Amino acid sequence: MDHTRQYAESLDTQDLIGHFRSRFHIPDSDLVYFDGNSLGRLPIATRERLRDAVDREWGHDLIRGWDTWIDLARSVGDLLASGVLHVSPGEVVLSDSTSVNVYKLAAAALDARPGRHVIVTDDDNFPTDRYLLEGLAAARGLELRLVATDIDAGLDPARVAAALDDDVALVCLSHVAYRSGAIADMVAINTAAHRVGALTLWDLCHSAGAVRVPLRESGADLAVGCTYKYLNAGPGAPAFLYVREDLQAGLRQPIWGWFGRRDQFAMAPGYDPAPSIDRFLVGTPPVLGGYAAQEGARLVAEAGIDALAEKGARLTDYAIALASEWLGDRLALASPRDSAVRGSHVTFHSPEAWQLCQALKAANVIPDFRTPDRLRIGLAPLYTRFVDVHEGMSRLRSIVESGSHLSFAATLGRVT
Amino acid sequence: MDHTRQYAESLDTQDLIGHFRSRFHIPDSDLVYFDGNSLGRLPIATRERLRDAVDREWGHDLIRGWDTWIDLARSVGDLLASGVLHVSPGEVVLSDSTSVNVYKLAAAALDARPGRHVIVTDDDNFPTDRYLLEGLAAARGLELRLVATDIDAGLDPARVAAALDDDVALVCLSHVAYRSGAIADMVAINTAAHRVGALTLWDLCHSAGAVRVPLRESGADLAVGCTYKYLNAGPGAPAFLYVREDLQAGLRQPIWGWFGRRDQFAMAPGYDPAPSIDRFLVGTPPVLGGYAAQEGARLVAEAGIDALAEKGARLTDYAIALASEWLGDRLALASPRDSAVRGSHVTFHSPEAWQLCQALKAANVIPDFRTPDRLRIGLAPLYTRFVDVHEGMSRLRSIVESGSHLSFAATLGRVT
């Protein structure tokens, strides 16, 4: 491979979705941002939309704004369904945080499998998912069965299958692993889970907006995800949840708030769940975050998931190639090498990962550190250029070659 | 009483907190806004803060913004504690929606009273509270005991006391009733509940920012409330929750998300609740809504609850007096007459309430309709002037005298 900056520039010139970068507010042109998988950038349309929502809709329309806002959770859900997740309108809705949604859907699934005593997840699932499932298991006297995962290679579907039996009520896993970026085999795992009569709940936080999610093709039952990563909806924007249409009528979630009630504004006695995905809603939804999710989802839908996934694969392949050429065995790959089973981030091992992160930040490159020794590089395909990858890896190379990172304290994330 | 506009103007001139109106964005000077208890107005400081948070903190700082944002839930909680609720720092935190918070705290309370089988609320409690408690009772096989309420007069503490026995785990009530505005006797009810060993959970949605809430003086155990009414934090802004300090260590809420875990970013195995109010947090908090809550709470704290409550009482007294003078028995009071037991809104009965609401909106006055025959007038003391009350009631008088409201369809809220 050609390792010149000119080559990176030529890749950008040929990039069919490269123009989407101009749709984002990018005030610091020197910054190399490798953390769009933690917090996505600000779309220009969102900035304008939020100003209008604050000044005109809230400031002027006041309570009358709810004539519009009341439909936001559903309309953004429908947009995510059609443009991002490729499922049907009415199967997705914006609601609460990812964590609250995991709780609601996992509890609903457990209620739908009475008499079964096991929840299956993996020992490298994102912490909040593990904690939430642990809480549900503790409250109900169930077993939380952890599948052992090779963190760098990702979930082995055979190991998941081996953990299943007819006492399993729910299998809850991440589609794209938050450390390695490994993509789980949703088809194989859903098939195995359904064979024993369990329901599946997928965490799509690192998938939505970055890779194709085969919810439909794999017969997935339930899913949740956030909007502040690849969907670029801003810090703490509301999450979404997916419930396959044929399951909705049979599932009840435990938090019976008024937004989940049929004919909510009748304010009548007694809870009666709405006859739609609305039954998974709870309280008054955040309007500003809802608009930001709408604008973010629109951009992703416009670019198209297939184009985004393909570019994400090429960006991460390119980062791996540069790391290999420039840093050799100073950085060991901590992600799958095959881009077909990797999301839009790539991770490397280094005993000095924490110090490298600090040095990169000082050099205006923002990566992420993951315990205990991982340097994670997120390459959001909607606005990251090949020259950004070249520039960021180049700065990393200079740091490693000069040893300048060793002047940063190794106080966190040290391999002990 | 003098019923001239000049008199209203003189009341405004003497109003010691009248200048706070200038701190709000008020683009339509003709609008009479009587619904600040549903959605408060936009503070100018909030508008600026949100622009900066979007453009600079999100747009420029990106993930580095979390260095600041991570403390927002607690710092706004502390501000609400000191400036609005008069409890201690560390007893209040911003989190989720009011509905999710009712669920978390009610569940925590029930877990803390094992072997008891009854939840007490009242039959006129705000719908989402009733539904949430119904859900918890159904899931645990408990009885939801409804105290009968005289909707206009408010909760009779003797009736609550009569519903209590040593099988009651939790008493959950609203401090200010959403229809009548009646203030519940928190001291008497907490005393009665504690006598039988029950915990109390108060909904402060219609209280916070409008009236003094005697959490401390009454020994209240738990509370929740929203920020988008009298705290002016905008549509769907995050809610708050209060847990008395001495109870925190002994209470566990059921939604074990990562923001509630001790040493969250260690991302370690196993849930271990934070040793503070943070244990009642769940997922990634909404940053924009958090800032809006912060600015809103600052304004309320600056004006002071006692001044706000006093003005709210005078505004509602004034509205009652004008209604009585101008409309006589066409509008019957549906709120307590004594302002000492009334929040900052006042409600009237009329068989034509729905039509009056429609006609008022057409005349650029925004009140609220409450089933089945109620016209609710919210008079947020931070920005509502006596001339607004005069003008709004005057337009109502013209509508009633001309009968123009009868041209609106009586399709909703008709007394059947």
DSSP three-state, residue A317? helix
DSSP three-state, residue A276? coil
pLDDT in tens, B261-294: 999 988 889 999 999 999 999 999 999 999 999 9
Residue B412: per-residue pLDDT: 58
* Average pLDDT over every residue of B302-311: 98
Q: Name the packing angle between helices A287-303 and A305-327 (round to 10°).
A: 80
Greatest Cα pair distance in chain A: 70
* Average pLDDT over every residue of A46-74: 98
Pick the closest to residue B196 from B258, B120, B272, B140 (CA basis). Answer: B120
* Average pLDDT over every residue of A356-378: 96
**Spatial contact of B79 and B297, defined as CB atoms under 8 Å apart:** yes
- For the domain made up of B5-30+304-407, the CATH class stated in words is alpha beta
Residues of A within 8 A of B228 (CB-CB) are: 284
DSSP three-state, residue A370? strand
Residue A412: per-residue pLDDT: 58
Compare all CA atoms of chain B with the CA of A127 and give the residue at the minimum distance.
B267
CB pairs under 8 A between A and B: 245
Share of chain B above pLDDT 90, in %: 96
- Assess whether A126 carries a catalytic annotation: yes
What the block records as the tokens of B212 is 């003094």
Residue B267: per-residue pLDDT: 86
Domain A5-30+305-407 has CATH 3.90.1150.10: yes
Pick the closest to residue A205 from A284, A308, A107, A101 (CA basis). Answer: A101
Residues of B within 8 A of A292 (CB-CB) are: 288
The answer to whether the Cβ–Cβ distance between B234 and A58 falls below 8 Å is yes
Contacts within 8 Å (CB) and 24+ apart, B17-22: B17/B303, B17/B304, B17/B307, B17/B308, B17/B311, B17/B381, B17/B382, B18/B385, B20/B299, B20/B302, B20/B303, B20/B382, B20/B383, B21/B382, B21/B383, B21/B385
Tell whether the model's pLDDT for residue B397 goes beyond 60.
Answer: yes
In sequence order, what DSSP letters do the residues of B19-80 get, joined into one string? GGGGGB----TT-EE-BTTTS---BHHHHHHHHHIIIIIIIIIGGGGHHHHTTHHHHHHHHH
Other beta carbons within 10 angstroms of residue A414's beta carbon come to 15
Residue A266: per-residue pLDDT: 87
Residues of A within 8 A of B238 (CB-CB) are: 286
**Spatial contact of B204 and B210, defined as CB atoms under 8 Å apart:** no
A202 DSSP assignment: E
- Assess whether A228 carries a catalytic annotation: yes
The answer to whether the Cβ–Cβ distance between A39 and B62 falls below 8 Å is yes
**Spatial contact of A183 and A211, defined as CB atoms under 8 Å apart:** yes
User: What gap in Å lies between CA B243 and CA B254, rounded to an integer?
Assistant: 15
pLDDT in tens, A315-330: 999 999 999 999 998 9
What the block records as the tokens of B124 is 């006129």
Which listed residue (A41, A74, A229, A370) is catalytic?
A: A229
Q: Tell me the nearest-neighbour CA distance from A34 into chain B, angstroms.
A: 10
Residues of A within 8 A of B58 (CB-CB) are: 39, 42, 234-235
User: What gap in Å lies between CA B393 and CA B1, rounded to an integer?
Assistant: 15
B371 band by pLDDT with thresholds 50, 70 and 90: confident
Beta strands in A160-312 (DSSP E): 168-174, 199-203, 222-225, 240-243
A413 band by pLDDT with thresholds 50, 70 and 90: very low
- Cross-strand pairs, B173: B202
User: What gap in Å lies between CA B146 and CA B119, rounded to an integer?
Assistant: 9
Tell whether the model's pLDDT for residue A416 goes beyond 90.
Answer: no
Question: Residue A27: which of B60, B139, B270 has the nearest Cβ?
Answer: B60
Residues of A within 8 A of B132 (CB-CB) are: 255-257
Share of chain A above pLDDT 90, in %: 96
The answer to whether the Cβ–Cβ distance between B59 and A236 falls below 8 Å is no
The answer to whether the Cβ–Cβ distance between A63 and B38 falls below 8 Å is yes
Mean pLDDT of chain A: 97
Which listed residue (A35, A122, A129, A203) is catalytic?
A: A203
Q: Cα angle vertex A379, ends A376, A384, to 5°? A: 145
Q: Tell me the nearest-neighbour CA distance from A2 into chain B, angstroms.
A: 31
Residue A411: per-residue pLDDT: 65
pLDDT in tens, A62-120: 999 999 999 999 999 999 999 999 999 999 999 999 999 999 999 999 999 999 999 99
- Cross-strand pairs, B345: B378
Contacts with A199 (C-beta within 8 Å, 6 or more apart), sequence order: A109, A112, A113, A169, A170, A171, A193, A221, A222, A247
**Spatial contact of A252 and A108, defined as CB atoms under 8 Å apart:** yes
What the block records as the tokens of A158 is 């055979």
The domain locations on chain B are: 5-30+304-407, 47-302
Compare all CA atoms of chain B with the CA of A253 and give the residue at the minimum distance.
B135
What the block records as the tokens of B329 is 């028995």
Tell whether the model's pLDDT for residue A134 goes beyond 60.
Answer: yes
User: What gap in Å lies between CA A312 and CA A343, rounded to an integer?
Assistant: 7
- Assess whether A150 carries a catalytic annotation: no
Pick the closest to residue A239 from A82, A98, A83, A100 (CA basis). Answer: A98
Compare all CA atoms of chain B with the CA of A367 and give the residue at the minimum distance.
B63
Beta strands in B244-317 (DSSP E): none
Q: Tell me the nearest-neighbour CA distance from B227 into chain A, angstroms.
A: 11
Question: Residue A42: which of B58, B259, B286 has the nearest Cβ?
Answer: B58
Question: Residue A134: which of B41, B235, B270 has the nearest Cβ?
Answer: B270
Tell whether the model's pLDDT for residue A271 goes beyond 60.
Answer: yes
Question: Residue type at B148?
Answer: A
Tell whether the model's pLDDT for residue A395 goes beyond 60.
Answer: yes
Q: Which residues of A286-307 are buried (b: 16+ CB within 10 A; e: fewer)?
A: bbbbbbbbbbbbbbbeebebeb
Q: Tell me the nearest-neighbour CA distance from A241 into chain B, angstroms.
A: 14
The answer to whether the Cβ–Cβ distance between B130 and A38 falls below 8 Å is no
Burial status of residue A212 (CB atoms within 10 A of its CB: 0-12, 13-18, 19 or more): middle
What the block records as the tokens of A348 is 């490397």
User: What gap in Å lies between CA A402 and CA B221, rounded to an integer?
Assistant: 59
**ipTM strictly over 0.85?**
yes
- By annotation, the residues of B acting in catalysis are 126, 203, 228-229, 376
Sign of CA dihedral B155, B156, B157, B160: negative
Terminal Cα distance for chain A, rounded: 37
User: What gap in Å lies between CA B298 and CA A107, rounded to an integer?
Assistant: 38
Tell whether the model's pLDDT for residue B415 goes beyond 60.
Answer: no
Share of chain A above pLDDT 70, in %: 99
CA B282 vs CA A286, B96, B112: distances in Å:
16, 8, 19
Residues of B within 8 A of A271 (CB-CB) are: 130-131, 134-135
The answer to whether the Cβ–Cβ distance between A268 and B99 falls below 8 Å is no
Residues of B within 8 A of A33 (CB-CB) are: 62
Residues of B within 8 A of A286 (CB-CB) are: 235-238, 286, 288-289
Question: Residue A255: which of B99, B268, B290 has the nearest Cβ?
Answer: B99
Phi, psi of B35 (to 5 degrees): -135, 30
Give the position of tokens 């899931």: B139
Half-sphere exposure (CA, 13 Å, Cβ side) for A110?
A: 26
Residue B156: per-residue pLDDT: 97
Compare all CA atoms of chain B with the CA of A179 and give the residue at the minimum distance.
B267
Q: Tell me the nearest-neighbour CA distance from A283 into chain B, angstroms.
A: 5
Q: Tell me the nearest-neighbour CA distance from A3 into chain B, angstroms.
A: 29
- The verdict on whether omega for the bond into residue A372 sits within 30 degrees of 0, i.e. cis, is yes
Residue A414: per-residue pLDDT: 37
Mean pLDDT of chain B: 97
The answer to whether the Cβ–Cβ distance between B289 and A236 falls below 8 Å is yes
Question: Residue type at A44?
Answer: I
pLDDT in tens, A198-226: 999 999 999 999 999 999 999 999 999 99
Which of B38, B288, B370 should be substituted to probe chain A, the one whose Cβ sees the most A Cβ atoms within 10 Å? B288
Which of B54, B101, B151, B365 should be substituted to probe chain A, the one whose Cβ sees the most A Cβ atoms within 10 Å? B54
B229 DSSP assignment: S
The fold adopted by the segment(s) B47-302 is Aspartate Aminotransferase; domain 2 (3.40.640)
Question: Residue A47: which of B54, B135, B238 has the nearest Cβ?
Answer: B54
* Average pLDDT over every residue of A385-392: 98
Q: Cα angle vertex B56, ends B53, B60, to 5°? A: 130
